[in-house]
Structure formats: structure tokens, C-alpha cells
């Protein structure tokens, strides 16, 4: 039997990426929805054959505990709501998949991890890149040191946004470029080195202050790792960029784009070409996570991985508020 997944929050990502991907998965399938928008329900039920009994709203979601059709609850809400609903899901005894960024604060991340541990359910964070084949190759090169020791890297993730969902412009909701796109740069710097940074400095800038009066439009941050490795990272809602470029003692390689939904590709200085991976990224991610549940194995991207990023994000904001001061991690 495939695991039954309920999506919580039927916005852009659930509608356009996750629900279609759940039609291509081998080990899990879309069985339920949790939504605060009743007008969306008929279309979703019709399109995906979702039973009345598997349709919930935010008020009655706790009763999902009694629903054997649902094994996994996937939280796909605005960032500030991840913790509340991930904890509800865990307390209902369901495995939890939680979108990136894991939550707004490290404290919230820890409370999600604790709730999942207490309820003995698995927790995966939606860092889909770590399931992607070319990304896995460069993660492997960090270990094998195929191009010598890493010396410096660049991780830039952003887009020029004109029609950004309102919550992404609100501080309270966990909006801003750093939480949204910056975690790709940050996670990319961490997974491509396989190391944890020891210090950070950061600054914010904006070209559209009328739009970005609460949250960051652009954040530039430098991560220092041990052995003198420097990661120059940049994220923005005002600038299109999508590259992870790694310089090593004996060569270099890059992925560009490095965080797109498809077509992640790159090249190495020895001529190796990293061809785009053909499979649906979200389907691979959800099948990996479903198999970890079925086989009771550790998940690829656990809650601790989401927490590590948010601890650094908190320091990035602190550094920027102190005029770019270098802070130890």
C-alpha cells in the first residue's frame, strides 16, 4: 500500500508542484487536503478523487488522528505557520513533511523536532535539492575531494519578483528573501562543503523600499568555514540568479541553475558534464521520504538540518542589524 499524504495549504507550491508530483510517486499518494479556503475543495476533490472524509480545515485538522487513510501530513503554509501545523500533525500521530524554511525561529524548529520525537513520527524538511542527482554528485565530491580541497564558493539564489504573495512581504509571516530563497544559498553552501560554518557576516539592501518596508529584498552574506573556506552568498527578490560555483585547490565545478524545479545542470573543470536529471524532483523527494517511513530508516533531510539553517539565518539577521558585524557561530 502506498502511504497516504495530506497537503496542508493549497497555494502555489501544493497546487502546481506537489499535487502533480504525487501522481507520479511509487510509494505515496495524495489522499487528503487541509485548507481554509472552502472554494478550493470541489476542484481538488474532483481532480484527485479525494473523499469527503479526507477533507479538513485548520479548525478540525486534529481529528486527522482518527483517519487511517492519512499517514503523512505535508505542511505547505506560509513560513510562520509551519511550527503550529507541523506540531498539530505530529500530535495527531502522523509523519511530518515540512516545507523550507523549517520555521521562523530556531525555537520553533526545536519544538517541531521535540513533537515528532515525542510522538515517534518521522520528520523531513522539503529541501528537495538534496534528493537531486547532480546535487548529490557535488555533495559526494566534497567528501572525495575529487578536485582538491574546497577553497571558496559562491551560492546565489534569487529572482526578480513583481507579483510576490503578500505574506512574503510581511515580517510577521516569515517573509523576505533570506527565508524564502536565501536558505537555498545557505543550504547549498553547507551541502556542497559538507561542513558547518564557524562565522557569518551579512548586510541587507533594497532597490524597492516601498515594497520592502518590512522584510529584506536582498541579503548578502559571507560564511566562513574551517580550513579558511569562504562562501560568498547572495539572495534576492529583486535580482535573478541561480548558481552554485565551487573553487577547489585543483579545479572547480558549478551547478547553474542549482535550485530550479528541473534542469539542474553543471560542469567541472576536468570536462565532466552534469546533465539535467530527467525525473520529477518532488516525486523523487517524496518517494525517498516515504521509503524512509516504510523501511523505518533515517530520512535524508531531517529536522536537525532545517534547524541548523535557521540558527544561521538568525545570526545573519543579527549581523545585518549590527552593520555587517562578523559573528561566530
**Cβ proximity to ligand NAD, 57 vs 205, nearer residue:** 57
Min separation Cβ 55 and ligand NAD, Å: 15
When binding is defined by CB under 6 A, the residue of 2, 11, 230, 232 that contacts ligand NAD is 11
- Sorted by sequence, the CB contacts under 8 Å of residue 303 that are 6+ apart come out as 98, 102, 109, 112, 113, 116, 123, 125
**Cβ proximity to ligand NAD, 12 vs 325, nearer residue:** 12
Hey, which residues between 149 and 168 contact ligand NAD (CB under 6 A)? 165, 167
Query: Environment class of residue 203 by beta-carbon count within 10 Å: exposed (0-12), middle (13-18) or buried (19+)?
Result: middle
The three three-digit cell numbers of residue 7, written as one number: 497537503
When binding is defined by CB under 6 A, the residue of 36, 42, 148, 228 that contacts ligand NAD is 36
| Structural contact between residues 59 and 82, judged by C-beta atoms closer than 8 angstroms | no
Closest residue to ligand NAD, based on beta-carbon distance: 11
| Structural contact between residues 110 and 301, judged by C-beta atoms closer than 8 angstroms | no
Please choose, out of 78-86, 200-208, 297-305, 317-325, the segment that lies near ligand NAD by the rule CB under 6 A.
78-86
When binding is defined by CB under 6 A, the residue of 29, 71, 99, 216 that contacts ligand NAD is 99
When binding is defined by CB under 6 A, the residue of 10, 109, 157, 220 that contacts ligand NAD is 10
**Rounded distance between C-alpha atoms, residue 115 and residue 123, angstroms:** 10
When binding is defined by CB under 6 A, the residue of 5, 6, 72, 77 that contacts ligand NAD is 77
- Residue spans of alpha helices (H) in the chain: 12-13, 19-21, 41-48, 82-91, 106-118, 133-144, 177, 183-193, 281-294, 303-321
Residue 78 touches ligand NAD, criterion: CB under 6 A: yes
Residue 228 touches ligand NAD, criterion: CB under 6 A: no
Please choose, out of 43-51, 73-81, 131-139, 264-272, the segment that lies near ligand NAD by the rule CB under 6 A.
73-81
**Rounded distance between C-alpha atoms, residue 28 and residue 3, angstroms:** 4
Q: C-alpha distances in angstroms, 34 versus 47, 128, 283?
A: 16, 22, 20
Q: Helix (H) and strand (E) counts for the chain?
A: 10, 15
When binding is defined by CB under 6 A, the residue of 56, 94, 97, 126 that contacts ligand NAD is 126
Min separation Cβ 106 and ligand NAD, Å: 17
As a whole number of Å, the CA-based R_g of the chain is 20
**Rounded distance between C-alpha atoms, residue 112 and residue 119, angstroms:** 11
Residue 299 touches ligand NAD, criterion: CB under 6 A: no
- Site of grid cell 531531517: 302
**Residue 247 DSSP SS3:** strand
Residue 197 touches ligand NAD, criterion: CB under 6 A: no
The three three-digit cell numbers of residue 77, written as one number: 503554509
When binding is defined by CB under 6 A, the residue of 94, 110, 122, 128 that contacts ligand NAD is 128
**Cβ proximity to ligand NAD, 164 vs 327, nearer residue:** 164
The three three-digit cell numbers of residue 64, written as one number: 486527522
When binding is defined by CB under 6 A, the residue of 3, 4, 7, 13 that contacts ligand NAD is 13
- Please provide residue 43's backbone torsions phi and psi, each rounded to the nearest 5 degrees: -65, -45
Min separation Cβ 184 and ligand NAD, Å: 9
**Cβ proximity to ligand NAD, 18 vs 233, nearer residue:** 18
| Closest to 283 measured CA to CA, from 86, 32, 28 | 28
Residues near ligand NAD (CB under 6 A) are: 9-14, 36-37, 76-79, 81, 99-100, 126, 128, 165, 167, 180
Amino acid at each position: 500500500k502506498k502511504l497516504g499524504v495530506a497537503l496542508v495549504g493549497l497555494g502555489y507550491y501544493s497546487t502546481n508542484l506537489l499535487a502533480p508530483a504525487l501522481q507520479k510517486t511509487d510509494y505515496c499518494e495524495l489522499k487528503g487536503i487541509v485548507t481554509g479556503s472552502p472554494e478550493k475543495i470541489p476542484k481538488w476533490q474532483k481532480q484527485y478523487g479525494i473523499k469527503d472524509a479526507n477533507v479538513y480545515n485548520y479548525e478540525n485538522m486534529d481529528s486527522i488522528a482518527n483517519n487511517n487513510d492519512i499517514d503523512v501530513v505535508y505542511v505547505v503554509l506560509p513560513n510562520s505557520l509551519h511550527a503550529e501545523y507541523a506540531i498539530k500533525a505530529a500530535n495527531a500521530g502522523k509523519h511530518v513533511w515540512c516545507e523550507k524554511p523549517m520555521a521562523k525561529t530556531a525555537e520553533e524548529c526545536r519544538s517541531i523536532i521535540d513533537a515528532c520525537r515525542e510522538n515517534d513520527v518521522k520528520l523531513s524538511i522539503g529541501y528537495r535539492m538534496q534528493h537531486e542527482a547532480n546535487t548529490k554528485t557535488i555533495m559526494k565530491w566534497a567528501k572525495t575531494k575529487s578536485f582538491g580541497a574546497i577553497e571558496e564558493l559562491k551560492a546565489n539564489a534569487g529572482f526578480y519578483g513583481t507579483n510576490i504573495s503578500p505574506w512574503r512581504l510581511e515580517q510577521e509571516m516569515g517573509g523576505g528573501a533570506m527565508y524564502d530563497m536565501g536558505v537555498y544559498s545557505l543550504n547549498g553552501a553547507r551541502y556542497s562543503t559538507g561542513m558547518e560554518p564557524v562565522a557569518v557576516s551579512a548586510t541587507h539592501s533594497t532597490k524597492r523600499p516601498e515594497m520592502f518596508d518590512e522584510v529584506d529584498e536582498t541579503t548578502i552574506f559571507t560564511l566562513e568555514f574551517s580550513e579558511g573556506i569562504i562562501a560568498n552568498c547572495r539572495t534576492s527578490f529583486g535580482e535573478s540568479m541561480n548558481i552554485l560555483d565551487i573553487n577547489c585547490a585543483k579545479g572547480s565545478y558549478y551547478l547553474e541553475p542549482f535550485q530550479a524545479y528541473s534542469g539542474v545542470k553543471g560542469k567541472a573543470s576536468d570536462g565532466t558534464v552534469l546533465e539535467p536529471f530527467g525525473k520529477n524532483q518532488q516525486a523523487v523527494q517524496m518517494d525517498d521520504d516515504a521509503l524512509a517511513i516504510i523501511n523505518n530508516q533515517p530520512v535524508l533531510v531531517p529536522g536537525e538540518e532545517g534547524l541548523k539553517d535557521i540558527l544561521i539565518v538568525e545570526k545573519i539577521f543579527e549581523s545585518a542589524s549590527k552593520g555587517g558585524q562578523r559573528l561566530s557561530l
